[in-house]
Chains A and B, each alone.
Chain A
Amino acid sequence: MNIFVDYILIPIIKILFIITFVFVAVLILIWLERRFQGFIQSRLGPNRVGPQGILQSIADALKLLTKEDVVPHQVDKFIFNLSPIIVFVTALVVFAFIPFGTDLTLFGKKISLYLADLNVGLLFIIGFNSIGVFGIILGGWAAKSKYPLLGSLRSASQMISYEVALIMSLVSVLFFTRSLSLVEIVKAQQEMKVWFAFIQPVALFIFFVAGVAESNRLPFDLPEAESELVGGFHTEYSGMKFAFYFVAEFAHILFFSALVTILFFGGWLRPFPNVSWLSFLDYIPPVFWFLGKLAFFVFLFMWMRATWPRYRYDQLEMISWKWLIPLALANIFITGFIVILVK
């Protein structure tokens, strides 16, 4: 097999596929959230542009593209322009390691449905994700006006405290996989014939709560709380830069739903992998299982946004430091103890 096809052509196609997948998914997500929230509030969401309003988010994107990109004079130009890029890039890069399904055989060539399979995949993802926080902090700070300053300070402390909780909840999962690569994790669940969600419900709960906080979604969306800080860290942004932040936020949701499905609900495994008489479910290709579970968690994100009020800034910290992290630690010890007993 020549090098060209294997190491250049296929990865490029995969990269293009991933980027288009993320963009299309984000556009649909934006439209879906507005429609979904509309229906919850007994009103119709956007339904003017295109059938059922599907082209609404494209119209929004075009509007943001053509909008004048206002750069306030007192702003620190370089960082002001840099921070949306940081947020956007980190939100996109992490998708490289998400395995969408098992290997596919196309024209006789085995193609794996993930861009790269790093054996330290999970560590890399979490690391990259926390770089995204810089984008928010610098963005708010560079705007040099009071509301974004408050917004960025809030997001700084929120991210740090929930990052800790996130990683600790992962540790208790990794007892069973012995490898950080996402593909291995799913394979481990396949061998153990059970999803980690049933073994580690506490870790799932902590991971999900930390995920919501990481992506600044409603119960914890202090940094861009409209009612208090007007626009939070992206008050001063407009036009394309604002679009970067907006897309990055939805990419975060997508990313965390993907992570939850892979780590706790067996990425592309059909439900109850070991139960034999359910084997007819195998006909549905694994990719749909992964996307189905992904859709469920995205639905959950939106549902929470529509229903619950918002925590106050210090309560937010209190939850993470007083509840999530001790819980995660206790969880690690207990699972560790059980694993030793079982061995």
Chain B
Amino acid sequence: MIKKIFRKIFLIDLIMGLLVTLKYFFLGKVTVQYPEERLKLQPRFRGLLRLYKDEQGNDLCIACGQCIRACPDSLISIYSERGPDKKLRPITWTFNLNRCMFCGLCVEACPTNAIRFSHEYELAVYDKKKLYIHKKDMYLDENTRKYFKEN
């Protein structure tokens, strides 16, 4: 009982709280200064959807439409034609980044691994039309990397 009164009079519980905050005062920061320092992304990070080509440079995508059916909001639209070698190739491949929630169902549904998530997460644009990404901007190379940056 005495200990309780002693604690109550000399505000021990309040001082204990102060000591905790003082401890963290000296323990140093945990935050990352965003534009200069950046966090390391895990390999499975789901960034922007990108279209990939095989070694010879033609599309991996065989325009089967699995991804269109898998997507909850069907944000991908493909117009395809039979190429000279009778195989279906996509002519236009538009992706509506506007309503994409990065759920990854399309990547999982694609039989030929043609679409995968890149590690880009700075996807802000000034005008909405840029969010409807067309085939030429879907590949991951130097000019598309600037696609989101230069605005």
The answer, yes or no, to whether A40 is at the interface (CB within 8 Å) is: yes
The segment from A88-96, A165-173, A267-275, A302-310 found at the interface with B is A302-310
Q: Are A43 and B30 in contact (CB under 8 A)?
A: yes
Bound Cα distance A18, B29 (Å): 36
- Counting residue pairs across A and B whose Cβ atoms lie within 8 Å, the total is 32
Q: Are A43 and B29 in contact (CB under 8 A)?
A: yes
The answer, yes or no, to whether B25 is at the interface (CB within 8 Å) is: yes
Q: Smallest distance from the beta carbon of A37 to chain B beta carbons, Å? A: 9
Q: Are B33 and A44 in contact (CB under 8 A)?
A: yes
The answer, yes or no, to whether A39 is at the interface (CB within 8 Å) is: yes
Contact residues in B for A307 (Cβ distance below 8 Å): 17-18, 20-21
Question: Do A40 and B25 form a contact, CB below 8 Å, given A303-B18, A308-B17?
Answer: yes
Q: Are B25 and A39 in contact (CB under 8 A)?
A: yes
The answer, yes or no, to whether A42 is at the interface (CB within 8 Å) is: yes
Contact residues in A for B18 (Cβ distance below 8 Å): 303-304, 307
Partner of A44, one of B17, B21, B31: B31
Partner of A40, one of B14, B21, B31: B21
Question: Do A43 and B25 form a contact, CB below 8 Å, given A307-B17, A307-B18, A308-B14?
Answer: no
Bound Cα distance A308, B29 (Å): 21
Among B18, B21, B24, B33, find the residue whose CB has the most chain A CB atoms closer than 10 A: B21
Bound Cα distance A306, B14 (Å): 12
* Nearest opposing residue in chain B for A304, CB measure: B18
Contact residues in B for A308 (Cβ distance below 8 Å): 14, 17
**Residues in B1-54 with C-beta less than 8 Å from chain A:** 14, 17-18, 20-22, 24-25, 27-31, 33
Q: Are A306 and B21 in contact (CB under 8 A)?
A: yes
Q: Are B21 and A303 in contact (CB under 8 A)?
A: yes
For the complex, would chain A's binding face be called helix, strand, loop or mixed by DSSP majority? helix
Contact residues in A for B24 (Cβ distance below 8 Å): 40-42
Q: How many chain-B residues does the 8 Å CB contact rule pick out?
A: 14
Contact residues in B for A36 (Cβ distance below 8 Å): 25
For the complex, would chain B's binding face be called helix, strand, loop or mixed by DSSP majority? helix
Q: How many chain-A residues does the 8 Å CB contact rule pick out?
A: 13
Contact residues in A for B14 (Cβ distance below 8 Å): 308
Bound Cα distance A229, B67 (Å): 50
Bound Cα distance A304, B20 (Å): 12
Contact residues in A for B33 (Cβ distance below 8 Å): 44
Contact residues in A for B29 (Cβ distance below 8 Å): 38-39, 42-44
Bound Cα distance A304, B22 (Å): 11
What sequence of 0s and 1s flags, for each residue 109-130 of chain B, a beta carbon within 8 Å of any chain A beta carbon?
0000000000000000000000
* Nearest opposing residue in chain A for B18, CB measure: A307
**Residues in A123-182 with C-beta less than 8 Å from chain B:** none
* Nearest opposing residue in chain A for B11, CB measure: A205
* Nearest opposing residue in chain A for B31, CB measure: A43
Q: Smallest distance from the beta carbon of A16 to chain B beta carbons, Å? A: 36
Q: Are A42 and B17 in contact (CB under 8 A)?
A: no
Bound Cα distance A83, B28 (Å): 42
Contact residues in A for B27 (Cβ distance below 8 Å): 42
Contact residues in B for A40 (Cβ distance below 8 Å): 21-22, 24-25
Bound Cα distance A161, B80 (Å): 80
What sequence of 0s and 1s flags, for each residue 286-315 of chain A, a beta carbon within 8 Å of any chain B beta carbon?
000000000000000001101110000000
Contact residues in B for A303 (Cβ distance below 8 Å): 18, 21-22
Q: Are A42 and B21 in contact (CB under 8 A)?
A: no
Bound Cα distance A41, B20 (Å): 11
Bound Cα distance A36, B24 (Å): 11
* Nearest opposing residue in chain B for A303, CB measure: B18
Q: Smallest distance from the beta carbon of A299 to chain B beta carbons, Å? A: 11
**Residues in A89-114 with C-beta less than 8 Å from chain B:** none
Bound Cα distance A19, B10 (Å): 38
**Residues in A299-339 with C-beta less than 8 Å from chain B:** 303-304, 306-308
* Nearest opposing residue in chain B for A44, CB measure: B29
* Nearest opposing residue in chain B for A45, CB measure: B29
**Residues in A1-52 with C-beta less than 8 Å from chain B:** 36, 38-44
Q: A40-B21, A303-B18 are in contact. List 5 more A-B contacts (CB 8 A).
A: A40-B24, A40-B25, A42-B27, A44-B33, A304-B18
Selected A-B contacts with CB under 8 Å, 11 pairs: A39-B25, A39-B29, A40-B21, A40-B22, A40-B24, A42-B28, A42-B30, A42-B31, A43-B29, A303-B21, A307-B21
Interface residue ranges, A against B (CB under 8 Å)? 36, 38-44, 303-304, 306-308
Interface residue ranges, B against A (CB under 8 Å)? 14, 17-18, 20-22, 24-25, 27-31, 33
